[in-house]
């Protein structure tokens, strides 16, 4: 089942499509974070402006250096010891679609601890975008059955895993980390 869903999602991502998928936090809309057209599709689905940045998901912190120019050493400790999903906003994003990167050049990165996401990203060999599966301005759905039909129909593929799961997951903590190691919380 897991392998089949990874294969189906992989085909959609490789063709510039958008998937609706379970993550270590809330259900998300995702695409190839290096494909500007795919990222624009998500903005269209959500009805949000193209100048809002995205969080990207990676399967391992070893890939950080491919997408961020300066990684303070403390970042690796924060990732390793985080007890809950943690998104770190780094300065100096690189090798990503322009519409993923914040106007100040930063990008939010989360190293996922979720089987489906980790295996999918590992096989895809590129980061995924992750944004909550809702119309911009509406509350984030806590469970699959709270996702609007509009969002489900707009996705190119809906991953058939964890749809009946009733464990409430929360959005990640977001922390901004400066190149010198200073940090501040954006969302706790």
Sequence-ordered list of residues with C-beta below 8 angstroms from that of 11, at least 6 positions apart, any chain: none
d(CA 148, CA 30): 16
pTM beyond 0.85: the answer is yes
Find residue 57's DSSP bridge partners: 110, 128
Cβ atoms within 10 Å of 81's Cβ, excluding its own? 8
Fold entry, domain 2-187? DHBP synthase (3.90.870)
Question: pLDDT averaged over the chain?
Answer: 94
pLDDT digits (tens, 9 = 90+) for 35-68: 999 999 999 999 998 778 899 999 999 999 999 9
Q: Give the closest residue to 92 by CA, choosing from 71, 61, 62.
A: 71
Q: Return d(Cα 8, Cα 148) in angstroms, integer.
A: 22
For residue range 162-185, list pLDDT tens digits in order. Answer: 999 888 888 889 999 998 888 888
């Amino acid at each position: 089942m897991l392998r089949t869903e990874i294969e189906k999602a992989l085909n959609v991502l490789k063709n510039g499509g958008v998937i609706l998928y379970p993550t270590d936090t809330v259900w998300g809309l995702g695409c190839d974070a290096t494909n500007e057209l795919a990222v624009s599709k998500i903005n269209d689905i959500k009805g949000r402006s193209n100048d809002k940045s995205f969080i990207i998901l990676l399967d391992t912190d070893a890939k950080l250096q491919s997408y961020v120019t300066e990684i303070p050493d403390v970042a690796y400790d924060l990732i390793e010891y985080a007890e809950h999903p943690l998104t770190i906003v780094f300065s100096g994003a690189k090798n990503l679609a322009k519409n993923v990167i914040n106007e100040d050049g930063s990008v939010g990165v989360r190293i996922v601890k979720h089987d489906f996401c980790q295996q999918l990203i590992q096989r895809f060999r590129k980061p995924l975008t992750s944004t909550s599966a809702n119309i911009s301005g509406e509350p984030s759905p806590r469970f699959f059955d709270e996702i609007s039909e509009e969002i489900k129909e707009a996705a190119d593929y809906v991953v058939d895993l964890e749809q009946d799961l009733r464990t409430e997951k929360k959005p990640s903590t977001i922390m901004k980390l400066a190149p010198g190691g200073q940090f501040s919380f954006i969302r706790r």
